[in-house]
């Protein structure tokens, strides 16, 4: 069951990745440095969010 949930999580993550990439391409057309910088900003934000959520999930329970 854990593998199924993990696989579905990957599918959802890839779907959101494509949606956000399309949004970036919509606001910043593919030609130009703005598109690249927007994708790096997106990657930094997503990395920060994932790290914070992971830290929250794996923290030891309070007693």
Confidence of residue 37 (pLDDT cuts 50, 70, 90): confident
Torsion sign, CA atoms 57, 60, 61, 62:
negative
CB 22 within 8 A of CB 29: no
pTM (2 d.p.): 0.60
Q: In 27-62, which positions are buried (b, 16+ CB within 10 angstroms) versus exposed (e)? A: ebeeeeeebeebeeeeeeeeeeeeeeeeeeeeeeee
pLDDT of the residue at 32: 64
pLDDT 10s digits, 16-30:
888 988 887 788 776
């Amino acid at each position: 069951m854990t593998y199924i949930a993990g696989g579905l999580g990957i599918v959802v993550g890839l779907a959101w990745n494509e949606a956000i990439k399309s949004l970036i391409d919509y606001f910043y057309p593919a030609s130009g440095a703005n598109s690249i910088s927007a994708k790096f900003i997106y990657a930094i934000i997503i990395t920060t969010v994932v790290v914070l959520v992971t830290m929250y999930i794996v923290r030891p329970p309070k007693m």
